[in-house]
């Protein structure tokens, strides 16, 4: 976490140009810039700024946005996080809802047209970037048939396309993993044992194979969360969704240091938490692995 | 009866031996045969060759011998080179329309979309191959050294990867590229070099870890011990014995890194932090055309289609290579 903060901070400050020279035709008077720099504390040497930033951070103060007239960063993030979280959770649930059944079915019907179809979908989902899929969807459902709105956020119709596009990448990945681990599970001895003692096929698959096949799938949810996060700022910018991702892209272009720092740290933090949770859950699901 | 069976068994065995003796093939030849049997991989390779052809012959200018050949119908950068801005492609126009010239229409600055797509393929291919070549050299070397020598090389590599892994890849590239864009370094080749560096910095770590893991599992095997016993130097062991043995997984990983790098460039250009305009890239075309998307979709749809097809082609080849090189799939 500390290193993430250090790297982001130095990179952001190494960049030439100050956040206050936005308009080259009408430059601000020099004393105004000096006053602004003093107000935001960017006139001090960079290492000192970093120490001050970390100190404030530990006290829960994320600083003020440069660009949005000194609004506290925590306020901007607080405003966007609800939207981003809603979008992210919807997408994760959708991804799980279609990928696990699809993976299971294609493993059980290996090398049938159904299997090839779901593999093709999975390949397309992992290969084609979200913004490209989004463009095709917007063209079909938004522009040609006017079925769904594609700009902004508000009603549930607004969230359909962003959720679907965001879910596609992680969902396709999860499908592949589910298929692979299910294929491995149904060849195990314990599945043969279950079958030979005369259990119904359904309970063999659900109770014996699936239970074990889902363990590797659970560990992928960590990286999948990372995928959702990086996906979110592109999708949010594209669909004009007022979440953190869109603010993040805006703040990178506007050189808004406190915003860049806080958002990056927040992302790294969420990913760390996700990975940690997965590690713990993994240990609980599979007693063969001990959490050290 | 018994003798007959034995004879038949012997004959079978002899036939088997004969077959084995005749069909002795190297791993690479074997892999090539399997790759050529994979229809999706072949289709992918054809697409890649076609795109490479277009990219090379989009424009060839050799002033020394006065050669100037351009496959693209227009200059991709000069503004207003078609009759008017935002022309529809010919397939959406009524039959017998007076404009048949810009086959795929023009963008809002009146630039020919077909030409821009053709020149855009250059950027995509370069961004696909150059950073991945850097990743291959740096990641391969560091991974090999870390795996074989261990010690502080290994420790610092692992610490460094831990830090890089805390960032999502794309987030890290975006931060690097966005912050260094204004510097003199970010100006070289219109920002292309910065993108190479950004992708390579994030990418080499994964490959180094892969190579390190492979080397760790190989270095206590008998053939390495034997090489060491007859007095081979560490350099020789690494180059002649370890390198060919880690090559297969490395090739697969590199094959998937190429579309990954192209995707990163497209995403960066789409977000407006990629290669500087007016250089045509597919991602930038999507970015520029998106403003007028709801009224004129083709300037966005066409580059989006190009990206999808090329990325799929590379992925199919990567899948084919993985299946061909993975011995576990031999069944």
pLDDT tens per residue, range B74-112: 777 765 666 666 667 666 665 555 555 667 777 777 777
Interface mutation vs chain A, best among B38, B166, B264, most A CBs within 10 Å: B166
| pTM across the whole model | 0.78
Per-residue confidence (pLDDT) for residue B49, from 0 to 100: 92
Query: Strand, coil or helix: what is A236?
Result: helix
CA distance A259 to chain B (A): 12
Contacts of B315 in chain A (CB under 8 A): 123, 126-127
- Asked if residue B107 lies in contact with residue B116, where contact means CB atoms within 8 angstroms, the answer is yes
Structure tokens at A215: 């363990």
pLDDT level of residue B234 (50, 70, 90 thresholds):
confident
Which is higher by pLDDT, B232 or A255?
B232
Residue B278, preceding peptide bond in cis (omega within 30° of 0)? yes
Question: How buried is residue A201: exposed, middle or buried, by Cβ count under 10 Å (0-12/13-18/19+)?
Answer: exposed
The average confidence (pLDDT) of chain B is 79
Structure tokens at B166: 């805390």
**In whole angstroms, what is the distance from residue B132 CA to residue B144 CA?**
17
Q: List the single residue in B167, B271, B319 with the smallest CB-CB distance to A249.
A: B271
CB contact under 8 A, B179 and A267: no
Contacts of B261 in chain A (CB under 8 A): none
- Asked if residue B309 lies in contact with residue B47, where contact means CB atoms within 8 angstroms, the answer is yes
Average pLDDT over residues B128-143: 90
CB contact under 8 A, B181 and A3: no
Contacts of B180 in chain A (CB under 8 A): 11, 14-15
CB contact under 8 A, B170 and A230: yes
pLDDT digits (tens, 9 = 90+) for B176-204: 777 777 666 666 776 788 888 888 888 88
CB contact under 8 A, B286 and A142: no
pLDDT digits (tens, 9 = 90+) for A57-90: 666 565 666 555 556 767 777 777 778 888 888 8
Per-residue confidence (pLDDT) for residue B133, from 0 to 100: 92
pLDDT level of residue B20 (50, 70, 90 thresholds):
low
Contacts of B171 in chain A (CB under 8 A): 229-230, 264, 267
Per-residue confidence (pLDDT) for residue A68, from 0 to 100: 59
**In whole angstroms, what is the distance from residue A205 CA to residue A185 CA?**
9
Query: By the CB < 8 Å criterion, does A24 face chain B?
Result: no
**In whole angstroms, what is the distance from residue A1 CA to residue A14 CA?**
20
Tell me which of A4-18, A137-151, A224-238, B124-138 is least confident: A4-18
**In whole angstroms, what is the distance from residue A141 CA to residue A164 CA?**
13
Percent of chain B with pLDDT strictly greater than 90? 5
ipTM for the predicted complex: 0.72
């Amino acid at each position: 976490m500390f290193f993430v903060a250090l790297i982001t901070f130095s990179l952001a400050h190494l960049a030439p140009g100050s956040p206050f020279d936005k308009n080259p035709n009408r430059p601000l008077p020099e004393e105004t810039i000096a006053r602004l720099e003093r107000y935001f504390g960017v006139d001090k040497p960079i290492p000192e700024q970093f120490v001050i930033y970390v100190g404030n951070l530990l006290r829960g103060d994320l600083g003020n946005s440069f660009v949005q007239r000194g609004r506290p960063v925590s306020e901007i993030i607080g405003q966007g996080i609800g939207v981003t979280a809603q979008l992210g959770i919807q997408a994760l649930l959708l991804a799980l809802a279609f990928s696990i059944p699809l993976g299971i079915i294609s493993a059980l019907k290996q090398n049938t047209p159904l299997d090839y179809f779901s593999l093709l979908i999975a390949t397309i989902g992992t290969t084609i970037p979200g913004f490209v899929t989004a463009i095709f969807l917007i063209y079909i459902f938004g522009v040609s048939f006017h079925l769904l709105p594609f700009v902004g956020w508000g009603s549930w119709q607004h969230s359909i396309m962003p959720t679907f596009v965001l879910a596609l990448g992680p969902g396709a990945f999860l499908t592949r993993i589910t298929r692979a681990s299910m294929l491995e599970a149904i060849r195990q001895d314990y599945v043969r044992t279950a079958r030979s003692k005369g259990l119904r096929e359904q309970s063999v698959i659900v109770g014996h194979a699936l239970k074990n096949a889902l363990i590797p799938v659970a560990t992928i949810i960590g990286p999948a969360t990372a995928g959702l996060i990086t996906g979110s700022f592109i999708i949010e910018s594209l669909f004009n969704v007022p979440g953190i991702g869109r603010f993040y892209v805006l703040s990178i272009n506007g050189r808004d240091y406190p915003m860049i720092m806080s958002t990056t740290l927040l992302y790294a933090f969420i990913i760390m938490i996700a990975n940690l949770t997965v590690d713990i859950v993994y240990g609980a699901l599979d007693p063969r692995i001990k959490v050290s | 009866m018994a003798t007959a069976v034995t004879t038949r068994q012997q004959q079978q065995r002899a036939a088997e031996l004969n077959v084995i003796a005749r069909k002795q093939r190297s791993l690479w030849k074997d892999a090539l045969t399997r790759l050529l049997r994979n229809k999706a991989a072949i289709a992918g390779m054809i697409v890649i060759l076609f795109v490479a052809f277009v990219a090379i012959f989009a424009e060839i200018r050799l002033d020394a011998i006065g050669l100037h050949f351009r496959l693209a119908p227009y200059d991709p950068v000069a503004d207003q080179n078609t009759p008017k801005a935002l022309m529809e492609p010919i397939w959406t126009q009524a039959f017998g329309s007076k404009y048949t010239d810009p086959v795929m229409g023009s963008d809002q600055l009146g630039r020919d979309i077909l030409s821009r797509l053709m020149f855009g393929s250059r950027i995509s291919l370069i961004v696909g191959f150059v950073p991945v070549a850097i990743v291959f050299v740096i990641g391969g070397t560091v991974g090999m050294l870390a795996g074989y020598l261990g010690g502080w090389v290994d420790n610092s590599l692992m610490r460094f990867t831990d830090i890089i892994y805390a960032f999502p890849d794309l987030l890290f590239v975006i931060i690097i590229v966005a912050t260094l864009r204004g510097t003199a370094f970010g100006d070289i080749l219109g920002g292309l070099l910065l993108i190479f560096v950004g992708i390579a910095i994030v990418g080499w770590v994964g490959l180094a870890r892969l190579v390190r893991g492979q080397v760790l599992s190989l270095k206590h095997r008998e053939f390495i011990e034997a090489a060491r016993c007859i007095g081979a130097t560490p350099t020789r062991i690494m180059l002649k014995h370890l390198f060919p043995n880690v090559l297969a997984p490395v090739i697969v990983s590199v094959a998937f890194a190429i579309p990954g790098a192209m995707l990163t460039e497209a995403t960066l250009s789409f977000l407006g932090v990629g290669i500087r305009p007016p250089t045509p890239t597919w991602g930038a075309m999507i970015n520029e055309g998106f403003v007028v998307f709801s009224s004129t979709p083709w300037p966005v749809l066409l580059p989006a289609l190009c990206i999808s097809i090329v990325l799929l082609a590379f992925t199919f080849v990567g899948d084919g290579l993985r299946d061909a090189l993975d011995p576990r799939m031999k069944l």
